[in-house]
Structure 1
């Protein structure tokens, strides 16, 4: 007999998320599991620095403060807690929590998951013939200019399931996949076999939807103007059934909304196409559907599963130099000429090996009605291979010396100051390693180790190739308007690649959108992509077109020089571009907006 759905509530989507989230979840609706995700690729780099300074640290300190007031209630209600707040030292965080539990006088058992941190094993792995080939370029790790100081393999959810099955109440992980924090508890709850591919695929998708916290409840959503109580959106809950399908909802007392579009936005976020890879299962998103299940309830179904790939990703970080960044301001007229003069003056006698990158942010109005409408920000970044070189460039002093000899109207934000102190620049290497080369254990409070279940089969499933549409959309009457009038978008990062998904709820707009939004048209709309390899996919059930912009983010967010480091605003940039839209579609969009207001 199938067990009732497991209710898993998210309380964190990244390192730095709202710290009251556990308070809110404990005051909200009944749940079986609290799940907190803290580790993005770029935050792993930050935590690794803390671990290098002190080997006893490297975990998310403030998680302890978040959970401490609720230990008694967690015990009383029988709630499980699963999180990757362990970072680089899950055992250390587990030990701290055991001390807190002892002080609180409650009965809670803590376990942690090990096996992801393979930094010290890198030399042995190379000797065994593992090249840790770059996921994007295929180059071996031996060719990398950086010396790794962190290497964490992405583990699946079976270690979490093993810990819960052995009686753990709190499970501390390091670098498991974000979705594994949900899939592991679901597998334990429903007692799935390791080859229940479709059910596992559904749970991974559910985890993907709720892993980013308020994203699924209206946060970072292109339709935010239609979201009620959007100032403080709540955190999502996934109700995962025995077949892997789920309903995404939220705590009834909290703000934000769960809608078909907020859930679709998160499905589109940081994927590489219809094939979504996980160490436990390969998820096929081709036939995923979102349907209305009531107020703030969206049913997600249609995911299918296959054996996972034989390899998993390893997030490897290493130093590639130092950087310093300042911002100054340039006022019209002659913006371009003024920026060129600043560049020429900064580069005079610049030490060899220092690279200066200037990025203009914004455009001055033709007839500005305020000083700020006439102003653009100029971000000035210097990079160099050593701290001494950056210190010798003394960027803050150079900029500060231009007041009397530089462009007219030169200034910086006096409240922020100008800086010359170097900061480390960290590069990212997404390596590939066979799952068979890893150990993956749940470690209980008494020291017992339980090996995670190993998938009984593996297979490589390539992303499907969807032909570009060649039939140009036809319309008798068109009007130039922003693409965002008729379509939503969401973008994110996967290492050095940015992705962007564009979708609509209107079937008539979908017929136009899929024919209009080709890779070539995307290159025209986003000129920064004109020389990039672009992969395009269609999701007919979601009425979405999806693109992977390979290399837009360099080698990764931790080292590229873009102001939008991890591509969060690429989707909104695309929506802002004006295109020729059939008048009947614009009329339908206007009517829908009026109905929404009414």
Structure 2
């Protein structure tokens, strides 16, 4: 087998994780995922200021502390920290190694940056335009002897699939093995989310500070998800299920190298903090690859008015009327009001007696969203509702981004492995492709027989994990027994979800059934507007959407309680 660990789930994750993973136990490869849709926007703005940047600077600092340690322990490093400038990061790593006197072979993968072709491809004028490459460029670099491989925008799982494919010598059409590695990569890509972080049933475990995950991958693509002995957190079927459901759609999980059938995955506890993941089936990848597009959408600003005590609705109406009157000569392009009724009657503290009225504005003109809006809000300090105050002084407007996705022919996207000796290897597109189609909904089990019920929170029997994919929200819900599954799959329909979460009622919602995981997955289209950078709603990445659902009350059979 090959032991592949992860030390980063996002740009800003625990800095010490690289050293912890290198010193905590045996590893063959250490990976890191530094890129997200929002990160690409951040790196794009960095590149505007300095064309030599555009990569994750944190990774370079981590390597300054740990490159020698990795070399001494024979652990190879694979990370997508190259962002928009993998060649620049590779060069900086070579300079670092020379300065530290460490003999390491550095390679990188490029070709994902389609910004120079944005007009030709019909993308308009984005700030960033990056295709999701696959694992074969990474495998080429490792086969050429690279100790460190940095990439630009590859799929999150590719940093795991590439080392496994190189280690076992998989062919491009070893779809089942590749699909198994994709599933393992998907589990560990978000770091501690696989080891008890952000876990619905966290109260059942001593989570502490979770260690980072390790995937022990075998030649057939099966794997065991675990963590270094003695580290915090927990790895069980529940934590792995939660991460498998994170930010997916249906049973077919498409990538540039293989479409992994997540509806075939079998999970089994394989000992303390060990979960076996097997039987994953794979199919040829689709003929197109996804492209992440970010552009600057304009400028945004916000203020939160604190409304305390009596007449909350009347106070909110007054200040809203006053602000809109002050802005009517030059109104922002978008004004959004949200009243959060956090107040309680007869409250024993001022904070619990208060509600929060948020006003957010967006406009192409930074002055309209900045000084004009801030002035309109703060000039009301002595002329509005009783008890007027705000959570923070209004500030200047800040730029916001808009995320969209596009799809292009895989054959038209360059994929280049730049080897340690500087030679360049073109990675061919897939030789076989298959149009993506949702699997037919599997046969459902018999419903649970009627019986007494209690109206209690859904979360007493169901776990959930939610997140974002551009403007869409993903919400996976699972249960832990066959009887609970018989109840859940017949109860938690799209209509029930829309009733429990009224924000979703007017939006398209798709449900996917995953019996082997005892799970249903929902995709709520458009809930997040233009994506996280646009901050279209409270909780702009839908991270807590699942916890809101779990807190909603529903009739649950007493036999399950």
Range into which the TM-score falls when normalised by the shorter chain: over 0.9
Comparing 542-551 with 372-381, greater Cα deviation is found at: 372-381
- Aligned residue number for residue 215 of structure 1: 193
Contact 1:163 1:171 in 2 (8 A): yes
Measured after TM superposition, the shift of residue 254 of structure 1 is: 1.3
Query: Residue 490 of structure 2 aligns to a residue in which SS?
Result: helix
Name 1:327's counterpart in structure 2: 304
RMSD of Structure 2 on Structure 1 (CA): 1.7
Partner of 2:361: 382
Q: Give the alignment of 1:287-302 within 5 angstroms.
A: 287-302=264-279
Contact 1:488–1:503 (8 Å) recurs in 2: yes
2:188 and 2:470 mapped to 1: Cα distance?
Answer: 21
Query: Aligned partners of 1:479, 1:272: CA distance in 2, in Å?
Result: 31
| Alignment match of 2:29 (pick from 28, 33, 53) | 33
Once the two structures are TM-superposed, the CA of residue 98 in structure 1 deviates from its matched residue by 0.5
**CA offset at residue 582 of structure 1?**
1.1
Equivalent residue, structure 2, for 1:120: 116
Report how far residue 461 of structure 1 moved: 2.3
Mapping of residues 376-415 of structure 1, within 5 Å: 376-395=355-374, 397-413=375-391
SS in 1 for 2:62: helix
> In 2, distance between residues paired with 1:515 and 1:553?
27
CA separation in 1, counterparts of 2:508 and 2:536? 20
How many residues are aligned here?
559
Equivalent of 1:318, from 295, 307, 311?
295
Which has the higher mean CA deviation after the structures are superposed, 572-581 or 442-451?
Answer: 442-451
Q: 1:525 aligns with which of 485, 497, 500?
A: 500
Q: Distance in 1 between matches of 2:468 and 2:443?
A: 23
2:476 is aligned with 1:501: yes
348-357 or 483-492: bigger deviation: 348-357
Residue 335 (structure 1) shift:
2.1
Q: Distance in 2 between matches of 1:444 and 1:70?
A: 22
Q: 1:515 aligns to what SS in structure 2?
A: helix
C-alpha contact 1:323 1:382 (8 A) present in aligned 2: yes
Find 2:57's aligned residue among 57, 61, 78: 61
Where 1:315 maps in the other structure, the secondary structure is strand
Q: 1:314 to 1:448 in 2, by over 3 A?
A: same
What secondary structure sits across from 1:15 in the alignment? coil
SS, match of residue 82 in structure 1: strand
Contact 1:194 1:453 in 2 (8 A): no
- Name the residue aligned to 1:241: 218
CA deviation map 1:191-224 (0-9, x unaligned): 1000000000000111100000000001111111
Shift of 1:342: 1.8
Contact 2:442 2:513 in 1 (8 A): no
One of 316, 322, 331 as aligned partner of 1:352:
331
Query: Are the aligned partners of 1:354 and 1:393 in contact in 2 as well (CA < 8 Å)?
Result: no
Cα distance change of structure 1 residues 370 and 468 upon mapping to structure 2, 3 Å threshold: farther
Q: Does the aligned pair in 1 maintain the 2:41–2:127 contact within 8 Å?
A: no
Q: Does 1:563 align with 2:538?
A: yes
Residues 11 and 25 in structure 1, CA contact (< 8 A), matched pair in contact too:
yes
Indicate whether 1:454 and 2:429 are aligned.
Answer: yes
Query: Any idea what the Cα deviations from partners look like across 1:310-330, whole Å, max 9, x if unmatched?
Result: 000001111221101233322
- The question of whether the paired residues in 2 share the 8 Å contact of 1:322 and 1:384 is answered with yes
1:345 is displaced (CA, Å) by: 1.2
Deviations 1:251-272 (A, max 9, x none): 1121111111010000000001
Gaps of 5+ in 2: none
Alpha-carbon separation, structure 1, partners of 2:552 and 2:346: 22
Gaps of 5+ in 1: 132-140, 587-598
SS at match of 1:17: coil
Range with bigger deviation, 451-460 or 310-319: 451-460
Instruction: Give the secondary structure class of the aligned counterpart of 1:300.
Output: strand
TM-score by length of 2: 0.96
Provide the residue aligned with 2:143 in structure 1: 165
Is the Cα–Cα contact under 8 Å of residues 466 and 536 in structure 1 kept in the other structure? no
Does the C-alpha gap of structure 1 residues 437 and 502 become closer, same or farther in structure 2, counting only changes over 3 Å?
A: same
The 5 A counterparts of 1:231-270 are 231-270=208-247
| 2: CA distance, partners of 1:385 / 1:32 | 50
Checking the alignment, whether the CA contact within 8 Å between 1:326 and 1:379 is kept in structure 2 is: yes
Q: CA deviation at 1:336?
A: 2.2
Asked if 1 retains the 8 angstrom alpha-carbon contact of 2:299 and 2:399, the reply is: yes
Does residue 347 of structure 2 align to residue 368 of structure 1? Answer: yes
Paired residues of 2:225 and 2:274 also in contact (CA < 8 A): yes
SS at match of 2:89: helix
From the superposition, tell whether residues 472 and 386 of structure 1 become closer, same or farther in structure 2 (CA, over 3 Å): farther
Does residue 536 (structure 1) correspond to residue 536 (structure 2)? The answer is no
Could you say what secondary structure the match of 1:377 adopts?
Answer: strand
Separation in 1, partners of 2:173, 2:339: 52
| Contact 2:248–2:474 under 8 Å retained in 1 | yes
* Counterpart in the other structure of 1:585: 560
Question: Is this contact kept in 2: 1:221–1:262, CA < 8 A?
Answer: yes
**Is the 8 Å Cα contact of residues 154 and 279 (structure 1) preserved in structure 2?**
yes
- Give, in whole Å, the separation in 1 of the partners of 2:367 and 2:378: 20
Work out the CA distance in 1 between the residues paired with 2:97 and 2:284. Answer: 39
Cα offset for 1:355? Answer: 2.3
Q: 1:355 touches 1:382 (CA, 8 Å); kept in 2?
A: yes
Distance of 2:514 and 2:442 partners within structure 1: 13
Question: Take 2:445 and 2:200, find their aligned partners in 1: how far apart are those partners?
Answer: 28
Displacement of 1:236 in angstroms is 0.3
**How many Å apart are 1:352 and its aligned residue?**
2.9
Q: Which residue of structure 2 lines up, in the alignment, with residue 595 of structure 1? A: none
